[in-house]
Amino acid sequence: MAEFVHDAKQDFWQSPVLRGPSPEAASPTGAQSLAEACAGCGTEYLIGAKFCHACGQARPAMSDLQSEPQPIGELWARTQARLRPWLDVASSVRKTSLPPWLQYLHFHEIKRWVGLPTASLIAFLIGLGCVAGALCVSFFYKASNLAEFQAIQMWRMEWLLAATASFVAGILLKNPSGRRGDNE
């Protein structure tokens, strides 16, 4: 604690620590000579930290890191150790069996069944969602006077207007059929 200046006027760009004979404090690049990220866990060091706040390892100097080349096998093992929990979750998800009727809910299966292009199908699904929103307004809001009833009706109209706009967009985005008309 002896290196701190007592009763010093502190500006926001000045440190209250005296510049002494320590090699880090003497050189203006002393802070830059430290490692930027922890070699153990890969977490970036906090500004001025002497150890990693995540795993607790001491912060080495950059010269120490450059003099000790790490073999690729060690880096690969560390990466695998970090990714192992995620890989375990992914493999357990793949092992679960899904019910057979769930295949009909795939987007491409619905697209094939309905016979619409992707943009039209998305607009159609948005329109169905807006119709469901118009129906749900009456489940969530109950009118107790005329003003509330009018507000609920206005919300329903807005949902239905959005559904109509979405359905029209789906019709406009639909590819024209190969036929010109029945009269030709």
Q: What tens digit of pLDDT does each residue of 61-87 get?
A: 765 555 555 677 778 778 878 887 777
pLDDT at 126: 96
Q: Of how many residues is the chain composed?
A: 184
Counting Cβ atoms within 10 Å, is residue 115 exposed (0-12), middle (13-18) or buried (19+)?
exposed
Residue tagged 């295949």 (tokens): 103
pLDDT at 42: 76
What is the chain's pLDDT, residue by residue, as a tens digit (184 residues)? 555 556 555 555 555 555 445 544 444 444 446 667 787 777 887 777 887 877 777 877 765 555 555 677 778 778 878 887 777 776 776 667 778 888 777 888 888 888 888 899 999 999 999 999 999 988 888 889 999 999 999 999 999 999 999 999 999 998 776 544 444 4
The pLDDT score that the predictor gives to residue 11 is 53
**Model pTM?**
0.43
Strand partners, 61: 34
The encoded tokens of residue 119 equal 């943009």
The dihedral through the CA atoms of 42, 48, 54, 59 has a sign that is positive
Burial label for 130, CB within 10 Å (0-12, 13-18, 19+), is buried
Both structure tokens of 133: 């929103």
φ/ψ of 58, rounded to 5, equals -70, 150
Q: What is the pLDDT of residue 62?
A: 64
